[in-house]
Chain A
Amino acid sequence: MRFLRHWPAALGALLPLAAVVELAGNAWTANLVPSDAAFAEARRVVERQFRDGDLVVVYPDWMGQGRTALGPWMPLRDQARADILDYPRVWQLTLDGRTAPELEGLPVEQSWSFDGLSLELLRNPAGAPALWRAYDDLASAVVVVAAPDGEKPCPWQERDQAHHCGDSFGQSWVYVGPFLVTDMQQQPHQCLWAHPTQVGPIVATWNDVPAGRTLVVHTALTYTAARDMKYPPVHLETLVDGRSLGTAEQPDGAGWRTWTYEVPAPEGATTPEVRQVQLRISTEFQGMRHFCFDAAMRGPT
């Protein structure tokens, strides 16, 4: 055990050793994200090969130079997307060895590496533009509040592109209109604002929705509304041709939620080209229910 007598010197040597490791580590972490030149190279590639309908993802999202370099190919709609199902091709700009969680498993078609910066063109086998999206077709919806004493209409107002419901009963925040929600995970999503009211469920009906195989519904509460964890959930019932497919619940503390329903076969012998989609939003308590939703019809008929 004579070697043990040197433990003080060994402990003393540990400190300079740690200093050398820290010096090297500090230099490494400070240069983990490559220089602007690498981002310019990536930009040139995307500029040449980008196609309409492609999605550009910068990961991690704190990589500011990536957002500056590829900003022109990152429109608001894509950045605040519901999911990646609309996009058959995805560009991913990331650091070597990393993959955005939502893109994991997608096959790589092409890849480039610039000084530790990785640019990949991914194929999304399930990616195809939705047949219909509620957010894009709000003007054609019929919106009412189904109060016990009769339906209260929510007239469309062209100026702010929204159906206003609450003006007639003194709740101006009750309307269905375009919104950009910041969810519980601080992520942005485009959706339709639909603050529920205890006057009665908000009922939004689309009569001419292209028929598809699945109806995907997304729900969210704003971060500031959801974080207090003290109010009852918001309910959203989905109906196709008058048949209820299910009820989504959006409780406090939950982020952007996705509900996928198989669209039932029509009752008649022939397959219709359009279906009626109805969404009913309700709650037991209307305080701080900053709720929004979107819906998309997907797949072939």
Chain B
Amino acid sequence: MNDERNDTPGADDPPEPSTPDRALQGEAPSELPEQPRTEVRGSEGEASTGDQLPATSPQPPLATGDQLPATSHQPAAAEPAAADRRPPTADPPPRRPPRWRRHAVGAALGIAYLAVLLSTAQEIGFARDEGFYFTAADRYQQWFDLLLKDRKQATGKEAVVSHWEMNAEHPPLMKVLFGLSHRLFHNKLGWLAPSTSYRLPGMLCGALLVYLVFVFAAKRFGELEGFLAAAFLALMPVFFYHAHLDAFDVAITLLCFLVLYAFEKSRTSNLWAFLTGILFGLALLTKLNAFFLPPTMFVIWVLRDVIRPTPATILAGLGLVVALVFQLDMRVVGALGVLLVIAVLRASDRRGGFLGLPKIPTAFLWMALLGPLMLYALWPWMWFDTLDHFRGYVNFHAKHDYYNIAYFGVNYFHPPFPIGYPFVTTALTTPVVTLLAGVVGMALFLRWRLRAMHADLAERCAAAQVDPPGWRTGLRRLLLRPWRSAHPAGPPDDEIGATQTRSPGIGIFLAVNLLVPMLIIAHPKVFIFGGTKHWMPAWPFLAIFAGVGAAWGLRRLAAVIPDRFALPRLGPVTVPVRPLLAGALSLLLLAPAAQGTAQSHPFGLSHYNLLAGGVPGSADLGMCRQFWGFTTGSLLPWLNANVPRNGAVFFHDTAWDSFRMFQTDGTLRKDIRWAGGPETAAVSLVHHELHMAELEHAIWLAYGSAAPAYVLTHHGVAIISVYAKPGVTLGYVPRADPH
């Protein structure tokens, strides 16, 4: 089912990016130059399309996706490429690092990240949902015990329903892993605290994702890019927080990335197409987000392999997305849809076949086959009353209550939600340098895309023996000539082109995976109460863009060093100054992200970047300060020291299961009791969220006082206020040891 072009590697691969460079000079194409042959050999299957560039053909195959058209009409003789005019560089010629090194470095990054997560896990309190998953994980393990003891009884309806009904609104994979991890690493080996043993699979997902992002980016762009991308992801403060939890968000981010990674590789490998199906099944067994993978992949396929990215298709496509997100009149949506179809058909004029459509990727077949099968076979809850249970699962989310979330001082609790929410919140919570580097990375791809389209236009005009539209050429000359005629200094400007050669359409792949999760949440009717985590599957792709942009910038900066200083000799050793400078500066770029992450811990959800003015600035802006009641974990030392013996505490937003886990872990005194409300509590907590003010005032009324006994703060901003009931004497004196 694969596109047959993929079966003949390199059949329509793009030439080096100097081609559009030249086309952008504004010279009219006049002759057919010799097409250079470039050997770019990847070490993994998916890159084989770029192994060999095709021989020049007067009628090149149609360019699709991100591939540059194999432009045949270049004024190569009239003007050499900019790179050719530069003096020979003093840098050693780049060598492709061996495959094992890429995996070793990636693994080292992942293991280091896991070590950091493990060492900081106990400092983060338990979110509401974590408590529910602790309990569900135990319940599922009981079923496995029964399965080992009495298979027939375990697979009967009664046993299945009684064990798997708990938390049936979420698929079981991660909860099963949480329970297994608890059994192994706490019960059996005793290596980890109870809570940390439940959380370990989530942390492993975070570490594995860091590894994969490095491997993916290093393979396609380079090791510096890979390192920066993995580090930018690991050092996103909100990702760092979520990577600690026994929750599904990082896990589904990992599985989405894996599915997309496999889909990318499946372009040239049927084995990877099969694995895409398996991974999709695992994603379905992890979280509901997996249902959005097929449409995302469909969009990628359409943009890469079906639509030729002409200005008309891009404008019509973008217009359609904007019209849908902004819920414009259906007539406008319909008109844009018609325009898109026309643009696609016009763009497919030379492809041949039925409407010019390529064959459907094999991965889609395996996904359709294995996904539902695995969801059914590996989720016992689906074994009985399957349709009812599946409907209940989907409806739980489709008809979910709208919880409260603060955004610029407004408490949003029902639609319409602000369209800009995912974009603005990302901009205010991601480290600024990461964002800036990401924008540079996206701009590089965009620039490449514009050049590619221009080259495509020039080629088609030449083929039809007509001049390109005068206004376009004039506009480009006006805007770009001063820059282009200046011939940018520094290393050859070909990273993106080379990557597009190795992985055709990689820019579209990254952009779609970055945008789709955010666009889904941007829809005014889609709930936003979980904040940034809702579009977490987009974050690895933001990190990759950032890695690409940062590495590009650092290389240009390092190239400022004159050639005579670029390779000094220290005794017998030649020091490559430029790579060393780029490496050192990359650490500087990561420093603010590391600083922000360290500062945010253990209040990850309260973190806001410098654009928001930090945590105090975000409080001034009225942004969400926290949710899930996890910050109680940071209050435990105060509670242990001040709650009277056998005192009851109203824990507000912290779930009972989470309270129980604090005591199981031994981080909260065992004599402290749970109170259902402020009236029956000696001490009451308020987790500060905008919509929680009413509860705080109710406590004031109940206690006749507005003076807190203690306020837990983060960068000076109130996170939890603690109120003591009148007459309660705070303080805990341990009983004297009789011995």
Chain A, interface size category, equals 35 or more
Contact B557 A13 (CB under 8 A): yes
Contact B436 A14 (CB under 8 A): yes
* Stretch with Cβ within 8 A of A (4 or more), from B11-19, B42-50, B269-277, B686-694: B686-694
Given A29-B610, A62-B688, A67-B718 in contact, is the A4-B483 Cβ separation under 8 Å? yes
Chain B interface residue count, Cβ-Cβ cutoff 8 angstroms: 70
* Stretch with Cβ within 8 A of A (4 or more), from B167-175, B338-346, B565-573, B703-711: B703-711
Q: Which residues of B contact A15 (CB under 8 A)?
A: 433, 436-437, 440, 549-550, 553-554, 557, 585, 589
Q: Which residues of A contact B352 (CB under 8 A)?
A: none
Q: Which residues of B contact A224 (CB under 8 A)?
A: 694
* Stretch with Cβ within 8 A of A (4 or more), from B204-212, B530-538, B592-600: B592-600
Q: Which residues of A contact B390 (CB under 8 A)?
A: none
Give Cα distance in the complex from A65 to B721, angstroms.
10
Give Cα distance in the complex from A15 to B53, angstroms.
35
Q: Which B-chain residue is minimally distant from A188 (CB atoms)? A: B697
Q: Which residues of B contact A21 (CB under 8 A)?
A: 610
Contact B489 A6 (CB under 8 A): yes
Contact B614 A25 (CB under 8 A): yes
Give Cα distance in the complex from A74 to B697, angstroms.
14
A residues 33-91 in Cβ contact with B at 8 Å: 33-34, 60, 62-65, 67-68, 71-72, 74-76, 78-80
1/0 per residue, CB under 8 A from A, across B676-705: the answer is: 000000000000101101100110110011
Contact A74 B706 (CB under 8 A): yes
Q: Is B295 an interface residue (CB 8 A)?
A: no
A5 CB, nearest partner CB in chain B, Å: 4
A220 CB, nearest partner CB in chain B, Å: 12
Contact A8 B490 (CB under 8 A): yes
Q: Which residues of B contact A186 (CB under 8 A)?
A: 411, 690-691, 693-694
Contact B613 A29 (CB under 8 A): yes
Give Cα distance in the complex from A15 to B493, angstroms.
18
Q: Is A7 an interface residue (CB 8 A)?
A: yes
Give Cα distance in the complex from A3 to B485, angstroms.
11
Task: Give which listed residue, B483, B592, B705, contacts A26 with CB less than 8 A.
Answer: B592
Contact B708 A67 (CB under 8 A): yes
Q: Is B431 an interface residue (CB 8 A)?
A: yes
* Stretch with Cβ within 8 A of A (4 or more), from B73-81, B450-458, B502-510, B616-624: B616-624
Given A15-B589, A186-B690 in contact, is the A71-B556 Cβ separation under 8 Å? no
Q: Is B360 an interface residue (CB 8 A)?
A: no
Q: Which A-chain residue is minimally distant from B700 (CB atoms)? A: A76
Q: Is A269 an interface residue (CB 8 A)?
A: no
Q: Is A180 an interface residue (CB 8 A)?
A: yes
B281 CB, nearest partner CB in chain A, Å: 41
Contact B708 A68 (CB under 8 A): yes
Give Cα distance in the complex from A192 to B710, angstroms.
30
Contact B715 A64 (CB under 8 A): no
Given A26-B596, A33-B616 in contact, is the A65-B713 Cβ separation under 8 Å? yes
Task: Give which listed residue, B555, B588, B592, B617, contacts A12 with CB less than 8 A.
Answer: B555
Task: Give which listed residue, B440, B485, B715, B721, contacts A29 with CB less than 8 A.
Answer: B715
Q: Is B552 an interface residue (CB 8 A)?
A: yes
Give Cα distance in the complex from A18 to B609, angstroms.
13
Contact A32 B715 (CB under 8 A): yes
Q: Which A-chain residue is minimally distant from B437 (CB atoms)? A: A15
B99 CB, nearest partner CB in chain A, Å: 29
Q: Which B-chain residue is minimally distant from A222 (CB atoms)? A: B694
Contact B610 A22 (CB under 8 A): yes
Give Cα distance in the complex from A267 to B31, angstroms.
105
Q: Which residues of A contact B560 (CB under 8 A)?
A: 6, 9
Give Cα distance in the complex from A9 to B491, angstroms.
10
Q: Is A257 an interface residue (CB 8 A)?
A: no
Contact B711 A8 (CB under 8 A): no
Contact B483 A9 (CB under 8 A): no
Interface centre among A4, A31, A62 (most CB of B within 10 A): A62
Task: Give which listed residue, A27, A68, A72, A187, contacts B711 with CB less than 8 A.
Answer: A68
Give Cα distance in the complex from A2 to B697, angstroms.
66
B residues 430-446 in Cβ contact with A at 8 Å: 431-433, 436-437, 440
Contact B716 A7 (CB under 8 A): no
Give Cα distance in the complex from A168 to B708, angstroms.
40
Q: Is B314 an interface residue (CB 8 A)?
A: no
B144 CB, nearest partner CB in chain A, Å: 44
B residues 48-92 in Cβ contact with A at 8 Å: none
B324 CB, nearest partner CB in chain A, Å: 27
Give Cα distance in the complex from A72 to B617, angstroms.
27
Q: Which residues of A contact B550 (CB under 8 A)?
A: 15
B606 CB, nearest partner CB in chain A, Å: 11
Contact B488 A71 (CB under 8 A): no
Q: Is A223 an interface residue (CB 8 A)?
A: yes
Contact B694 A223 (CB under 8 A): yes
Q: Which B-chain residue is minimally distant from A68 (CB atoms)? A: B711
Task: Give which listed residue, B619, B715, B719, contacts A60 with CB less than 8 A.
Answer: B619
Contact A32 B716 (CB under 8 A): yes
Task: Give which listed residue, A9, A16, A67, contacts B490 with CB less than 8 A.
Answer: A9
Q: Which residues of B contact A182 (CB under 8 A)?
A: 693-694, 697
Q: Which residues of B contact A79 (CB under 8 A)?
A: 700, 706
Q: Which A-chain residue is minimally distant from B625 (CB atoms)? A: A62
Contact B432 A29 (CB under 8 A): no
Q: Which residues of B contact A65 (CB under 8 A)?
A: 711, 713, 716
Q: Is B559 an interface residue (CB 8 A)?
A: yes
Give Cα distance in the complex from A34 to B431, angstroms.
24
1/0 per residue, CB under 8 A from A, across B405-440: the answer is: 000000101000000000000000001110011001
Give Cα distance in the complex from A63 to B493, angstroms.
50
Give Cα distance in the complex from A14 to B488, angstroms.
16
B501 CB, nearest partner CB in chain A, Å: 21
A17 CB, nearest partner CB in chain B, Å: 10
Task: Give which listed residue, A5, A19, A68, A187, contacts B488 with CB less than 8 A.
Answer: A5
Interface centre among A7, A25, A60, A223 (most CB of B within 10 A): A25
Contact A19 B588 (CB under 8 A): yes
Give Cα distance in the complex from A182 to B700, angstroms.
12
A29 CB, nearest partner CB in chain B, Å: 3
Give Cα distance in the complex from A77 to B705, angstroms.
9
Given A26-B599, A33-B715 in contact, is the A11-B610 Cβ separation under 8 Å? no
Contact B557 A33 (CB under 8 A): no
Q: Is A20 an interface residue (CB 8 A)?
A: yes
Q: Is B476 an interface residue (CB 8 A)?
A: no
Give Cα distance in the complex from A60 to B618, angstroms.
12
Q: Which A-chain residue is minimally distant from B720 (CB atoms)? A: A64
Q: Is B478 an interface residue (CB 8 A)?
A: no
Given A12-B552, A63-B716 in contact, is the A74-B721 Cβ separation under 8 Å? no
B722 CB, nearest partner CB in chain A, Å: 9
Give Cα distance in the complex from A81 to B717, angstroms.
23
1/0 per residue, CB under 8 A from B, across A187-203: the answer is: 11000000000000000
Contact B718 A62 (CB under 8 A): yes
1/0 per residue, CB under 8 A from A, across B500-529: the answer is: 000000000000000000000000000000
Contact A23 B592 (CB under 8 A): yes
Interface centre among B488, B588, B592, B617 (most CB of A within 10 A): B592
Contact A11 B556 (CB under 8 A): yes
Task: Give which listed residue, A3, A12, A31, A78, contacts B557 with CB less than 8 A.
Answer: A12
Task: Give which listed residue, A16, A19, A80, contacts B706 with CB less than 8 A.
Answer: A80
Give Cα distance in the complex from A60 to B560, angstroms.
48
A4 CB, nearest partner CB in chain B, Å: 4
Contact A32 B705 (CB under 8 A): no
Contact B708 A8 (CB under 8 A): no
List 29 A-B residue pairs with CB atoms under 8 Å apart, sorted by A's residue number: A1-B482, A4-B482, A4-B486, A5-B486, A7-B488, A11-B440, A12-B555, A12-B558, A13-B557, A15-B549, A19-B433, A19-B588, A19-B589, A26-B614, A29-B613, A29-B614, A30-B599, A30-B615, A31-B715, A32-B716, A33-B716, A60-B619, A62-B716, A67-B707, A67-B721, A68-B710, A71-B706, A186-B691, A186-B694
Q: A15-B437, A67-B718, A75-B706 are in contact. List 12 more A-B contacts (CB 8 A).
A: A8-B552, A14-B553, A15-B440, A15-B549, A15-B554, A16-B554, A29-B615, A64-B713, A64-B718, A65-B711, A76-B704, A180-B698
